[in-house]
Structure 1
Amino acid sequence: MAAFLERALATIAICWRLERRDGIALGFTTHDRDLTRAGLVYRAAPGMLPSAISISDGLRADALDIKGALTGDAITAGDLAAGRWDGAAVFVFMIDWEAPEGEQFPIARGELGEVSIKAEAFEAELRGPAARLDLPVAEQTSPECRARLGDKRCRVDLAGRTRLTRIVAVTGPDMVEVAEGGAGNAYGGGRLRWLGGANSGLESPVLRSDGALLTLHEPPAHAPAAGDLVEIVEGCDKQLATCSGRFGNVLNFRGEPHLPGIDLLTRYPGA
């Protein structure tokens, strides 16, 4: 137990650190003035409070709701709608506001779940590490590969299949043309990561490609512009023929293309 929690006169401040997937970190505190800890300023955010905190020592998935007012220079409605805070890492802890660089008492950690916006405020759920226990233990069979191209199960090296390029034209709400593309549908099923422009830090899944012309699954959060720097990564249609012929990686194929499905019962004359 931290020593500052045992004092007769409490000097406790609740702090939480939020770190987005693009590396941007913000700090907030329930104290009435800003606090600095480990080089990060924890800003006094009126109206930003966690819900009642309940911690258990079992395997039940603990959850914590965080509510706060939208501030123009910190967490904005536009960033929330664009998904910049989806999956952000969160660490909630208590410190002594008289000695913010001193010891801390951890409360909860995890990542932001569903974020909703109501009027001029937002609500977000914090999912702790125990929430992973709710995931399926075993995978279901599928004719298509269940691995993601380049992950530890697929093992395809993406170093030569990743390219930095720029947007040269915006041909539609969900269509962009890049300076350097690939042959055919090389980037279909891949991803485009925005490194510049209004969408910087976001990712857009690529539906299909035709050379340098990319069709995205959905329009990006903000309108792109010619000259925006992007990173594009090749994709895979998860078919066995593609895995064998294009990547030469059939030994790591994570699917069962030859396993009979439930339609086997209807495969007889007169069905």
Structure 2
Amino acid sequence: MRTIPADLQSKLDSGVTTLCRCWIVTRGDGVVQGFTDHDEDVAVGAVTCSAGTGLTGSEATQKLGLASDSSEISGALAADTLNEDDLAAGRYDAAGVELWLVDWSEPSLRVLLAKGVLGEIKRDGPVFTAELRGLSDRLTQETGRLFTTTCSADLGDGRCKVDLTLPAYRGSGVVAAVTAVSSFTATGLDAYADGWFTAGKLTFTAGANAGLSVEVKMHRKSAAVAFSLWQAMPQPIAAGDAFVVTAGCDKAFATCHDRFANIINFRGFPHIPGNDFVMSYPVQGAPGNDGSSLN
């Protein structure tokens, strides 16, 4: 149940209020920002909620039971608060959001109206619209383990346990030349075999995209070491940009055995029957129809 401070309740009962809404956004990288629909900045605790962004919120719908609540916020992109580059870089993906109802004449009088995460974000020129999903939205997401022939762990995570800080699985390079929007040649990685970094993670450590990561689509070693990325970076890649890249894994049993010697932590079921086995039928005279073991 929502608790309203007594002094705030008195103002609400009087019929004359000085209320505004404030949004506090906490990004995945730890950056905390505040916004308000008031015409002056409002301090909510240690966070200053900025005015002048044109931020406004839609009607919030709250439902009984475990149904997911949702609403929207929209405003203007600004270089010093919420900008297009940060949106394109994914820094606001799944960011935490708190919506407060605040008495702007006495900001200590406030009540938390909603809490959730940012969902889909749309941009139209200098304007953005962001979906605000309630905490119950997590209950609508499918979870659980799939029984497949391939591994369900991610390379280097707590279940896989491969140490990606080892030099054998981690390399540093520098962009030599850009060949396409998301393709380039690199120096500093001649010691690694062809395809070693395919499906790995590449993180830029210098340049306009410093701090951003992307999955490697293809790593080739021929006349030069070449990389192709699965998606274009928010800012153009340039010669001289430094990066680190970790080995890739196609999650196959053979790869886990041959490349990483890590089958003790393999999280798949390589011997599970596939669709070809399920759809098969006995053929007269064919071997294996005597009821004996298939192995």
Q: Normalising by structure 1, what TM-score?
A: 0.85
- Please list, as runs of the form range in 1=range in 2, the aligned pairs for 1:50-89 lying within 5 A after superposition: 50-56=57-63, 58-89=65-96
Q: Report if aligned partners of 1:15, 1:28 keep a CA contact under 8 Å in 2.
A: yes
**Aligned equivalents of 2:109, 2:158: Cα separation in 1:** 38
Counterpart position of 1:210: 220
Letter of the 1:6 partner, please give it.
Q
Per-residue displacement from partner, 1:18-76 (whole Å, max 9, x unpaired)? 23334433210112101234554311145311222234563222222112223344333
Per-residue displacement from partner, 1:91-141 (whole Å, max 9, x unpaired)? 2223332344x3642222332211122354221112233212112243332
Cα displacement (A) at 1:168: 3.2
Counterpart position of 2:10: 7
- Please list, as runs of the form range in 1=range in 2, the aligned pairs for 1:1-271 lying within 5 A after superposition: 1-3=3-5, 4-8=7-11, 9-56=16-63, 58-100=65-107, 102=108, 104-160=110-166, 161-181=169-189, 182-210=192-220, 212-268=225-281, 269=283
**Aligned equivalents of 1:15, 1:249: Cα separation in 2:** 50
Query: What stretches of structure 2 of length at least 5 have no aligned partner?
Result: 285-295
1:31–1:195: structure 2 CA closer, same or farther, 3 Å change rule? farther
**Aligned equivalents of 1:15, 1:229: Cα separation in 2:** 40
Runs of 4+ aligned structure 1 residues displaced above 6 Å come to none
Question: RMSD value over aligned CA atoms?
Answer: 2.7
SS of residue in 1 equivalent to 2:25: strand
Aligned residues: 269
SS of residue in 2 equivalent to 1:74: coil
Q: Report if aligned partners of 1:144, 1:257 keep a CA contact under 8 Å in 2.
A: yes
Q: Normalising by structure 2, what TM-score?
A: 0.78
Q: Report if aligned partners of 1:84, 1:202 keep a CA contact under 8 Å in 2.
A: no
**Aligned equivalents of 1:138, 1:26: Cα separation in 2:** 34
Report percent identity of matched pairs: 36
**Aligned equivalents of 2:27, 2:244: Cα separation in 1:** 19
Cα displacement (A) at 1:224: 0.9
Q: Report if aligned partners of 2:181, 2:237 keep a CA contact under 8 Å in 1.
A: no
SS of residue in 2 equivalent to 1:16: strand
Instruction: Tell which structure's C-alpha radius of gyration is larger.
Output: 2
SS of residue in 1 equivalent to 2:112: strand
**Aligned equivalents of 1:201, 1:38: Cα separation in 2:** 30
Q: Report if aligned partners of 1:22, 1:201 keep a CA contact under 8 Å in 2.
A: no
Letter of the 1:227 partner, please give it.
G
Counterpart position of 2:293: none
Query: What stretches of structure 1 of length at least 5 have no aligned partner?
Result: none
1:36–1:166: structure 2 CA closer, same or farther, 3 Å change rule? farther
**Aligned equivalents of 1:90, 1:196: Cα separation in 2:** 30
SS of residue in 2 equivalent to 1:221: coil
SS of residue in 2 equivalent to 1:151: coil
Q: Report if aligned partners of 1:17, 1:91 keep a CA contact under 8 Å in 2.
A: yes
Q: Report if aligned partners of 2:146, 2:152 keep a CA contact under 8 Å in 1.
A: no
Letter of the 1:5 partner, please give it.
L
SS of residue in 1 equivalent to 2:160: coil
**Aligned equivalents of 1:188, 1:35: Cα separation in 2:** 49
1:137–1:225: structure 2 CA closer, same or farther, 3 Å change rule? closer
| Bigger Cα displacement from structure 2, 77-86 vs 248-257 | 77-86
